[in-house]
A and B are shown apart, each in its own frame.
Chain A
Amino acid sequence: MGNKFWIYLLVMALTTYLIRSVPFCLFRQKIRNKKLQNFFDYIPYAVLTSMTVPAIFTSEAGIVSGIAAFAVACILAYKNKSLLIVAVFSVLVSLVAGFLPL
């Protein structure tokens, strides 16, 4: 990555910072359009989903580990387990699945 890391870091940090600070400094009006509000409420869930699928299946841990981790994470998340519990068990399962002779 070399020197390009610093350019990436600068661009990334500046974008993220401006998104937060400019509205915090300038705007005082609430968004009243309910549909627009909904759109912004949905974005995080849609983003986290498209970041997870298919990335979880195509990671270097392999597809078997990916499927195992995905299944366990879904089951535990469905049971409202905490982030930490879900993460720990999906890691453990993907680790075990990595040793399976598949």
Chain B
Amino acid sequence: MANNSVSGNTWARGVKDGVAIALGYLSVSFSFGILAVSCGLNWWQAVLVSVCNLTSAGQVAGVGIMGASGSLMEMIISQLVINIRYSLMSVSLSQKTDSSMTLFNRALLGFGITDEIFGVSMAADHDIGKHYLSGLIFLPFWGWTLGTLLGAVLGSILPERLTTSLSIGIYGMFIAIVLPVTRKSKRILIVVMMSVILSLILRYVSIFSFISGNFATVISAVIAAFIGAFILPDDTKSATEATQLSSNKEI
């Protein structure tokens, strides 16, 4: 067990380690802000969504459901599936926390576990204390909020032709996250191709037209990931290894 006298496990060190994450979040959340406004949210609603959720893919799906007046069940299921990976990260990170972390601290700091916060915490050469983790979450949270504010405000005042193009930016980022990983893992490439095919089938084959677009997203992803993990023959390289090789990670 490390304690707080270890220089690496301090608030200041956490803040420092969070700078790069915060800068990355600025641009992703800017795109999210633009998209949220184009889905029909006000600028302050977009900011509130970011403040309360701190996650990219889940928020993109969430504002889509809000804009389409989807059901609350749709909202819950889409958030569950898209964000279920956080449960696994929380379980892993929980084993690396030190004794300074009370149940109350956990309940509070659990909010800030994103892909990048998790990645940096797991890479640290010391146990994770409450000061370090809160420092690490600090700047990325504000970067995420500020980026959303900028995107949403600009999205509200810029001409429509510009904002419709800008709202495509977040999909570009999604591609930038997925594609490099498919080059490193054939298994993930297959999963991604299946996800594309299933998504198109569920959206455009008329017998599936009773399924909403948001459910189609979730169903396609779950089936594709399930086939990749349980049906395809075993791969030598695990998915975790491949994703660790990836330079781009998503929030």
Contact = CB atoms under 8 A, between A and B. Distances in A.
Contacts of B183: 78
Interface string A54-71: 111001111001100110
A50 B176 contact: no
Q: Tell me if A's interface is mostly helix, strand, loop or mixed.
A: helix
Contacts of A74: 175, 179
A21 B110 contact: yes
Nearest to B38: A60
Q: Tell me if B's interface is mostly helix, strand, loop or mixed.
A: helix
A26 to B, nearest CB: 8
A50 B106 contact: no
Interface in B53-93: 53-55, 57-58, 60-62, 65-67, 69, 72, 75-76, 79-93
Contact of A98 (B161, B221, B222): B161
Contacts of A82: 176, 248
A39 B230 contact: yes
Given A9-B48, A25-B110, A38-B238, A48 B83 contact: no
A90 B169 contact: yes
B175 A70 contact: yes
A79 B107 CA distance: 40
Contact of A35 (B103, B196, B220, B230): B230
Contact of B172 (A23, A24, A86): A86
A91 B166 contact: yes
Residue among B24, B93, B229 with max Cβ neighbours from chain A (10 Å):
B229
A61 to B, nearest CB: 4
Interface in B213-251: 213, 216-218, 220-222, 224-226, 228-230, 238-240, 243, 247-248, 250
A44 B250 contact: yes
B221 A47 contact: yes
B90 A61 contact: no
B239 A42 contact: yes
